[in-house]
Each structure stands twice: as C-alpha cells, then as structure tokens.
Amino acid sequence: MKGQTWKIILTLVLIVAAAWYFWPTVQFFTMDEAQKAALKQADPDDFVQLQKRAIKLGLDLQGGMHVVLEVDKSQLDENAAKDAVDRALEIIRNRIDEFGVSEPLIQKQGNNRIVVELPALQDPERARNLIGQTALLEFKLVESPENTQALFKKLDKIAEKLSPTSTTPTPKAPGATDAFENPFSDSSKSAANKADSTKDTTTATADEENANALTQYLEFTGTDYSVQDQDYEKVKAILEHPDVKAAIPAEDQLAWSRGVEIINGRKLRQLYLLKSKVELTGRHLTDARPNYTQYHKPKVDFTFDREGGNIFGRVTGPNIGKPLAILLDGKVESAPNIKSKIRDQGMIELTGQQTYFDAKDLATVLRAGSLPAPVKIVENNIVGPTLGKDSIDAGKTGLLVGLILIMIFMFVYYRMSGLLADGVLIMNIFFLLAIMAYLGATLTLPGISGIILTMGVTVDASVLIFERIRDELRTGKTVRAAVDAGYERATVTIIDSNLTTLIAAGVLYYFGTGPIKGFAVTLGAGIIISLYTSLIVGKTIFSYRRKATSLSI
C-alpha cells in the first residue's frame, strides 16, 4: 500500500485544484440575470473576473455577434495599404483577447474586409465599440479663452448670414453665462454685455434672419463652450458649413467632447477650440490601466516610453496651468489643467455617464494600439443560438439520460466494479470541465461532441480492464493476481488506442480553426484525463480490494 500513497495524494490535490477552477462556472451559471446585473453594478471587477473564469458558451449554443468590418484604405499610400488589413486584423484580435472572449472567429474576407464572430457576449454594444474604434490617441493644447471667444464672435457673425432656419434654440438655464461674455472684463461692462446678449437672444428667437446665430446655442464655461445635447446636431451643422469652416485659422481646430455630462439636470456637450498641432500620440504608450479617481470617477492611468516621456515633459513644463486636451479618434476624452511638469505618466478622466467598463475598454484599445486605417461596420448581426433553445434543452436532456443509462448498465453488468467505473467516469467529466475553465475555453456543439466521445473512451477503458480481470479469475487466479494481470494486459491496449486518437486530435488542433479546435482541445484533454482516471485512480481503488477472497465484477 505504501506505493499507492503518492497516487492518493496526487489525486486529492487534483480534485481540490479542479474544484477551485470549476467553482466560478458553478457560481456564474447558477446566478439569474438580476443577480448578475446587481454584481456588475456593485463590483464591476468581481463580475468581470467571475465571467472570465467561468466556462463560456459558444455562438452555436448561446448566440453572439457577427460583424463584418471594411478597412478604408483610401487615405493610405500604396505601401501602407498593402498590409493594412493584416495589421488591422491583428490589432482587432489583440483587443478581443483582452476583452475576454474565448474562441472568437476573426478572419479576412476578400481584399479589404474582416469577419468577426464573438460568442457568448453579455454586452454586444461594448464589443462593437471596441473592435470598430480606430483608437488614434492625440494630445493637443487648448486655445486661450481670449482667442476662443474672439474666434466664436467672428463665427457668430458669419453664421447669422447663413440661410434662415425655423429651429428654435433650447432656453438656457437661469443664470447661465452668455456665449460671448468676456469673463476678464470689469463688472459694469460684464453686466452691460449680459443685458445686450439677452436682448440679442430674444431678437434671434423672434427674427428668422438671426436663427443661425451661435449666440443662442452656446454657453461659455471659462475655457470652452457648452451646448445642450438636443441642440448638438444643429450647432454641428452650422460649424460644418463651408463658410464657417473657412474662417477657422489653420493653426486651430474645433473638437467635441465624447460623452454627455448632466449638470443641473441638463445634458451638455463640450465644444473646444484646440491648437491643431499634435504634441504627442499614443505611439509612445507602453501601458494603460482602468482605475478610479479619489472621487470614484472612472479613469485610465497610462505610461509612456522614454522618448514619449521626454516629449510630454517638454509639452507640460512650459504650459503649467493651461488645459491639455486628450483626444481619441478626434473626440475629446478630457481636457485637464496641467498642474506640474509630467514626464512618463498621466491619466484620462472619463466624463459624463461613462462607466468603469468604458475605462476598461479605453485602456484595452490603447494597449492594443490604433488601427492603421479607419474601419466601417458594413454588417452587424446579433446571432441567436443556431440550435434553438428547444434543441439545446433536448440535447442537455439527452446527455443526462445517456449518462444515467451508461451508469446503470455498468452497475448491472459489472456490479460493484461497475460503481467504480461510474465514479471514474464522473471524475473524468469533472476534471475535463475544470480544465476547460482553466484554459478559458468556450463550450460549443463540437466541444460537447468531444465530451461525449471522451465518455465513450473512458467507459471503453473500464470495459477492457474488467473483461481482462474476469478472464484471469476464470483461470482460477486469486483476486490479487487477477487484478494485477488484468491491468497489466489491458494497459498496453488502452494506451495504444488512446494514443492514436490523441494524434488525430493534435492534427485537428493544428490545422483546424474555431469550433474544430474546440473539439480537438476537448477530445485531447479528455483522452489524457481518461488515461489517468482509468489506469491510476481505478487501479489505486482496486488495490484495496486485492486482499478479498472474491470480487464483485
């Protein structure tokens, strides 16, 4: 029995490890949707970790998302366009890997398209934003308040002369600062300007000739302008008019905030006047991680390489006290004031209704890098389970009934030894599911086929061993001798048959893609586990029965 001690200890360690890795799957799939939503709201990190550690269901079992992306190579030179799709595919793959989706299908279609299939998604909208974002990160200085107001006064006069429109502006909140009031003037002049601007606003509302005046839509906030969300499209259309755009100096540019902020019950968008010069890009980024500010607002902490740190220091040093805009794909994520000279690190504080998950996705795209060219989603479908819910339920029932029938048959045919075979079979399935959870695998229909095939392999090994032992008992050997001889003679056959199947699984994994790889992983892992449970665990249990005078088999 001394020789069996290490086997018992090893098996117990493996059972504990398997339980550790399989428990998150049990937790996740026993929670209802309300419990999942509550956990996601209370502790996003815990929810993400639980979801990541649990076995995922594939596109054919749970559904998911099918997206076709088109890479716009029109702005690239000939050399850059050659491998733009390949580079975009690799970056999208890196983003999806960090998003935590297992066994995605990501492949080229034609010369400029990429097909992405993501199974078992909880939030398809997040995934779409993640894979479709160009993620061009830029740092630009914000223009001075004086220059900003001066330019908008000029733009306002041009906008007034545009074709009249019947659109009525949304009334400003009581006490809101007028768009072109100068915050640096004396109080008497400021009061006069307020009176004049109020009069102008009233006139603009009543008189269609001034219906396009920017005055009625914009509120100055000290360094930038606020626009009520319901007026956003109107103001955007005015600012994109050729006459208005032509008046903006080449060294400046207008940029909108990404999100909407709710201030005093109003939904506001920020409009910034930035200097066109790009001070620094995300090319020098080495890391980006989601976090919270001291006020529990989501943010992204980032670090630069040495060259990026030197550039950032040269930008922030002379501009202390001035705002620096952080843009992603042309939208301002935040524009904090520079408090001190910064070299190798910084942060992006998310505004408005953005959550920790938005910070997590932003960090993901920043780490993966920007796409070489913009991509457009040309096809976007939410795919339901291809088997249908009824078929899935029927499959689960069939699998359970099949398992029960096999266990009953083994018990009836091999008696107490059949119970041992049933225990080995259940342990085999338990270990296999734990390994899938450890690998972060996705369970698909082919994967279920691999589990069923593994069940057959395990039962087949038990049948071979038991029949050998029966043959040895018929020759008159003792239980001890029959068990030893039965395992010895069956082991060679079992290893030989399983090894050939394992080679086939390896070939499928190497040359296969998507669900075929999933089948190969399940089958290969199942075979290795079957060898251990049948030849090590089963034999260890039989060793305690060798002293018996008879064997129930």
Provide CB contacts within 8 A for 199, sequence distance 6+. Answer: none
Helices (H), 252-376: 306-316, 356-368
Higher pLDDT, 117 or 191: 117
List of domains in the chain: 56-106+118-124 (no CATH), 145-275 (no CATH), 278-371 (3.30.1360.200), 388-543 (1.20.1640.10)
Neighbour count for residue 475 (Cβ, 10 Å): 9
Best CA proximity match to 230, nearest among 179, 282, 267: 267
- pLDDT tens by residue, 277-316: 999 999 899 999 999 988 888 999 999 999 999 999 999 9
- pLDDT at position 244, please? 93
As given in the structure block, the two tokens for residue 137 are 């990160």
Q: Which of 34-43, 343-352, 510-519 has the lowest mean pLDDT?
A: 510-519
- pLDDT at position 206, please? 41
Per-residue pLDDT, averaged over 190-214, amounts to: 48
Predicted TM-score (pTM) of this structure: 0.58
Describe the crossing of helices 5-30 and 389-439 by its angle, rounded to 10 degrees.
130
CB distance 381 to 121 below 8 Å: no
Higher pLDDT, 457 or 2: 457
Describe the crossing of helices 389-439 and 445-474 by its angle, rounded to 10 degrees.
80
Per-residue pLDDT, averaged over 264-288, amounts to: 92
- pLDDT at position 176, please? 54
CB distance 451 to 523 below 8 Å: no
Higher pLDDT, 232 or 545: 232
CA distance 53 to 228: 43
CA distance 523 to 452: 9
Three-state SS at 302: strand
Per-residue pLDDT, averaged over 260-265, amounts to: 84
As given in the structure block, the two tokens for residue 453 are 């095939």
Strands 225-228 and 218-220: what pairing?
Answer: antiparallel
CA distance 110 to 378: 14
CA distance 195 to 495: 93
